[in-house]
Structure 1
Amino acid sequence: MIVVSRFQVAPDSGFAARAQAALQAFAACTGFVRGHLGRAADDPRLWTIVTQWDNVGAFRRALSTYDVKLHATPLLAEAMPEAGAYEVLLTVEDGQVTESASGLAADAGTVRVGEASGPVHPD
Structure 2
Amino acid sequence: MLAVIRYTVPESQSQDFVKQGHTILDTFADQPGYLRGRLARSVDEPNLWALVSEWEGAGFYRRALSASRMVMYPLMILMVHEPSAYEDVYLRDGA
Please classify the TM superposition score into its range, dividing by the shorter chain length.
Answer: 0.7 to 0.9
* Unaligned 5+ runs, structure 2: none
SS of residue matched to 1:37:
strand
Q: TM-score, normalised by structure 2?
A: 0.87
Q: 1:77 to 1:33 in 2, by over 3 A?
A: farther
| Number of aligned residue pairs | 93
- The answer to whether the 8 A contact 1:5-1:79 is kept is yes
Q: Output the amino acid matched with 1:60.
A: R
- Counterpart in 2 of 1:69? 69
Structure with greater helix percent? 2
2:91 matches 1:91: yes
Higher relative contact order (CA 8 A, sep 6+): 2
Percent identity between the aligned chains?
33
Confirm or deny: 8 A CA contact 1:63 1:73 kept in the other structure: no
Structure 1 residues 18 and 32: CA distance shift in structure 2, 3 A? same
Please, what is the CA RMSD of the aligned residues? 1.5
Q: Which residue of 1 aligns with 2:9?
A: 9
CA distance in 1, matches of 2:3, 2:49: 14
Q: Secondary structure at the match of 2:22?
A: helix
Q: How far 1:29 sits from its partner (Å)?
A: 0.2
Superposed displacement of residue 78, structure 1? 3.0
In the alignment, the residues of structure 1 paired with residue 72 and residue 91 of structure 2 have an alpha-carbon distance, to the nearest angstrom, of: 27
1:50-72 deviation line (CA, Å, top 9, x unaligned): 1110001111111232xx12212
Bigger Rg, which one: 1
What TM-score, normalized to structure 1?
0.68
Runs of 4+ that moved beyond 4 A: none
Partner SS for 1:36: strand
CA 1:39/1:19 → structure 2, altered by over 3 Å: closer, same or farther? same
Q: What residue in structure 2 maps to residue 25 of structure 1?
A: 27
